[in-house]
Chain A
């Protein structure tokens, strides 16, 4: 009995304390807002936003509601984070491995890269990529075509738009390919465990990924056309490209800055992970006759990944949160659209900041959950 009291009383007190503080804060905010004639409520979310957004993944115009504007901002935040996470991971792995290279030049270039990009404040890098690049890029009418059909200009990167017919058939084929790869992998590991036979799973997977979607073109009535960007005159001296897709320079600058900056941290995580696997492991693996490829794939990487994943998760989280710096260069992310324009137009500071904070929290927790799940999967399973 005594024990139970000792155990629970402090916890109950702590919870009570937290509840009281929140209660006090809410009550106080309410009184103050009442005094100042500020209403509290989320009704504004369904009102017409009456402002436009530069770049949106979904249909949006000023006659849509504030909640739709929120969604536009959220999707833009997710887009820039997703692209940057992928690029920073690829770059990070390459640089991290390069830092361990025995080649003097490669090793030191990688070290320079890491030290340089890691030690300059991110906001400065964003400004650099945005304003320096803006000044250096050509006006649309003077731009040279890259790969024949894309144009990098001061107003954005113009690429051809894909025009699909029967896109859903193509997507189903892609899905079928992925499912058959999973089945194949399971079958292959069973085969290896029971009969000791090895089949080249990777080659088969690639083949499946190419062949199945290709079949949809031949037999499924799928066709793909391109709409090319074309130069259009706006005034005597100003032009834009019409048709195709335009990636705004704000997005490009932000992705560049975020992924270059975060890739240095990922590179350090990768290096730490590989160096954290003791040399004996490699030598032991070699001595039982595994090829260098197999040593890396079967012995080093599985152990290194366990060290790499947790700190890399942190970097992904940082990247997502850092993406809110977008507002500085006019990329319409959640902070700019919702905690910026929408907040200003409605004046609902407490409501909007709370929603924004909760949204970032949710995004971060989701990323953490996915990474934790992956981490669990590759953990040492003690049998």
Chain B
């Protein structure tokens, strides 16, 4: 039944593309998406169907995660209230159609930035909020310590409609190993099948493996192999054609990262208004007219930092403290040995 409903929604979404009047003509400095968002009173954000640390809903329907925080930041910047977000859980298969058809305005759903997605299907990636790579999880008892120990006939569980499917084919083909791909539409189904012994290994992004491991019946019996077989820069996506909205989302994310760089966080943001450093003053709206470029007021970035926090706070709250990936690895600031580096906000 779920399946039918889901298929219905994708068909409806398709027809939405067909019916939607072509209103997005050139509008200098004016964002139709921003106007509609203000009129509506909330930001429409597409997230995953439940990936701890990235986007996950608790029993009472509150969404948390670093992907969720990107949407909250945009809501804080545009509407002044980080809670004014409507989250739409989407499967990997539905996500792009939902965005291009206008059902959502931001897709923040651990989505890998690739050339074909960026150029081909009417989407624009605005940045990277998590640097990831594909890995494999196996049972500890198997004695497998490296991907080079996989043998012909290995069965591999994974998700449908992801770069994972392509990467694993590249990987196994290049190693000349025959394998059996078992591909499910929902992450929970993959976990259940792997847990039941259907597959010898489970492959997806390493952050995903770490998060899904917590859902297994005996998490400690499983181990993520050290090798990373692909680059997976994950980030928020918007529809092509509204460059102002694209900038708003990009700089909302950048603000969070730069705030961490300058040591501005949700607790000290107000005090930073009197800082001696002009860069910090710009970051909290005390100097310059940065918001005007998007048609926003001057405290848009201050609200993001106060209501959502900087990137470090978001990472700690969602990913480190939940035990998913305590070590930030490449997702550390460039000043601290990571690769998080954003252009200056000036």
Contacts and interface: CB of A to CB of B under 8 A. Distances in A.
Q: Do A and B come from one complex?
A: yes
Interface of A: 25, 28-29, 31-33, 35-39, 50-54, 62, 121-123, 131, 134-135, 139, 154-155, 232, 234-238, 240, 242, 248-250, 324-325, 327-330, 332, 335-336, 340-341, 343-347, 349-350, 353
Nearest to A326: B3
Interface stretch (B189-197, B203-211, B271-279, B325-333): B189-197
A60 to B, nearest CB: 12
Interface in B111-170: 116-117, 120-122, 138-139, 141-144, 149-151, 153-155, 160-162, 165-166, 168-170
Interface in B90-122: 92-93, 96-97, 100, 116-117, 120-122
Main secondary structure of the interface of B (DSSP, over half): mixed
A347 B115 CA distance: 13
Nearest to A240: B153
Given A36-B122, A123-B1, A328-B3, A154 B198 contact: yes
Contacts of A155: 155, 197-198
A325 B171 CA distance: 30
13 contacts: A32-B18, A35-B22, A36-B239, A36-B241, A51-B165, A234-B154, A237-B139, A237-B143, A330-B189, A341-B183, A344-B162, A345-B165, A349-B17
Closest 9 CB pairs of A and B: A347-B121, A344-B161, A36-B122, A236-B143, A235-B142, A134-B196, A38-B122, A31-B22, A62-B169
Interface residues of B, number: 64
Interface string B70-100: 0000000000000000000000110011001
A336 B160 contact: yes
Nearest to B154: A234
Contact of B14 (A235, A236, A341, A353): A353
A131 B196 contact: yes
A344 B141 contact: no
A39 B121 CA distance: 8
Contact of B197 (A32, A154, A329): A154
B24 interface: yes
A340 B160 contact: yes
B92 A344 contact: yes
Given A38-B122, A325-B3, A328-B184, 14 more contacts: A29-B18, A38-B120, A50-B170, A122-B1, A135-B196, A139-B197, A234-B142, A327-B160, A336-B160, A345-B161, A345-B166, A347-B121, A349-B14, A353-B14
A343 B93 contact: yes
B218 interface: no
B93 A340 contact: yes
A234 B149 CA distance: 9
A248 B150 CA distance: 20
A35 B162 contact: no
Given A131-B192, A327-B185, A36 B240 contact: yes
A332 B160 CA distance: 11
A344 B160 contact: yes
B7 to A, nearest CB: 8
Contact of B166 (A50, A238, A240, A327): A50
Contacts of B142: 234-238
Contact of B141 (A29, A32, A237, A353): A237
Contacts of A29: 17-18
Given A155-B198, A328-B3, A341 B160 contact: yes
A242 B139 CA distance: 21
B200 A51 contact: no
B345 interface: no
A122 B200 CA distance: 29
Nearest to A38: B122
B2 A123 contact: yes
- Interface-centre pick from A62, A238, A346 (highest chain B CB count, 10 A): A238
Contact of B198 (A121, A234, A249, A346): A249
Given A50-B169, A234-B200, A28 B120 contact: no
B197 to A, nearest CB: 5
Nearest to B17: A32
Nearest to B124: A37
A235 B149 contact: yes
A327 B165 contact: no
Contacts of A50: 166, 169-170
A354 to B, nearest CB: 9
B96 A134 contact: no
B122 A28 contact: no
B17 A340 contact: no
Nearest to B157: A330
Contacts of A249: 198
B18 A25 contact: yes
B45 to A, nearest CB: 19
A36 to B, nearest CB: 4
Given A134-B196, A249-B198, A238 B139 contact: yes
A32 B20 contact: yes
A37 B240 contact: yes
B181 interface: yes
Nearest to A327: B185
Nearest to B155: A155
Given A139-B197, A236-B141, A330-B189, A350 B22 contact: no
Interface string B1-15: 111100100110010
B173 interface: yes
A62 B173 contact: yes
A155 B138 CA distance: 16
A103 B239 CA distance: 67
A50 B17 CA distance: 28
A240 to B, nearest CB: 5
B109 to A, nearest CB: 13
A32 B183 contact: no
